[in-house]
Amino acid sequence: MIHCIGAGPGDPNYLTLRGRDLIAEADVVAGFDAVLDVARPHIQPGSRTIGMNYRDQTARLAEVAELHHAGKRCVVVFMGDIHFSGFQFLERIEAACGHPVETIPGISSAQILASRGRVCFDETTFITFHRRGDLVPFQKHLVHVLEDGRNAIVIPRPWDFMPSDVAAYLLAAGIPGEHPVEVWEQLTRAEANWSGKLSECTGTFTDMSILLIRSLHPFPSQIQPIV
């Protein structure tokens, strides 16, 4: 069995105990280089690591599949949680090994942002643009989310649909520029990297950014920030 593990938002303190144990028991640990850095303290001496990037991931996943079919215990680590924005990568893993794999959920950056921003997921919609292919259906969905009066937690797509592009698209679609927006890059910080109105969101941010777009009409149960 290949185990696919959500390794959390980058802080090793958010790696689950189940994920840590599977990494420690694995013969092979694979993933993108930045995610392997989170897993590395738990990889045992003698275990094989297989790093990859966007260009060579198909070839590297073929190596993992070969080792898996040879009887090795294999783990592929994902940043955050697989089920928030990792499904396309999961599909490539399953295509390489030829069968479904077991997934171990992790802590997503969306969950951390909900905690930092003091919003409830019952009143908030998560949308990721961190995907290949056509973004239009997801862009339209974001418009409907805000029109319905919900908060939105949004992962942009590097580098063609970044926070300023998200804001420009929404403004062009008729979303009021008064929506409060926060852009976070280091979710272990106490405060957002930038906050202001949607109409003011024109800055440049890294590919690790995530946005919180607040409703103009908060739900009655909206959690109030601690002062």
Distance (Å, whole) CA 32 – CA 36: 6
| Domain extent listing, the chain | 2-104, 109-213
Residue 27 backbone dihedrals phi, psi, to 5 degrees: -85, -30
Q: Which residues of 53-79 are buried (b: 16+ CB within 10 A; e: fewer)?
A: eeeebeebbebbbebbeeeebbbbbbb
Its pTM stands at 0.86
| Assigned CATH topology for domain 2-104 | Cobalt-precorrin-4 Transmethylase; domain 1 (3.40.1010)
Contact (CB, 8 A) for 189 and 109: no
Q: How do residues 165-212 score in pLDDT, each as one tens digit?
A: 999 999 999 999 999 999 998 786 777 899 999 999 999 999 889 999
**CATH fold group of domain 109-213:** 3.30.950
Closest to 184 (Cα-Cα) out of 152, 155, 150: 155
pLDDT for res 120? 94
The pLDDT of residue 74? 98
Query: For residue 87, is pLDDT > 90?
Result: no
User: 224 pLDDT exceeds 60?
Assistant: no
Give the three-class secondary structure for 78.
strand
Instruction: Calculate what percentage of the chain has a pLDDT beyond 70.
Output: 96
109-213 and 2-104 share a CATH fold: no
pLDDT tens track for 27-79: 999 999 989 999 999 999 999 999 999 899 999 999 999 999 999 999 999 99
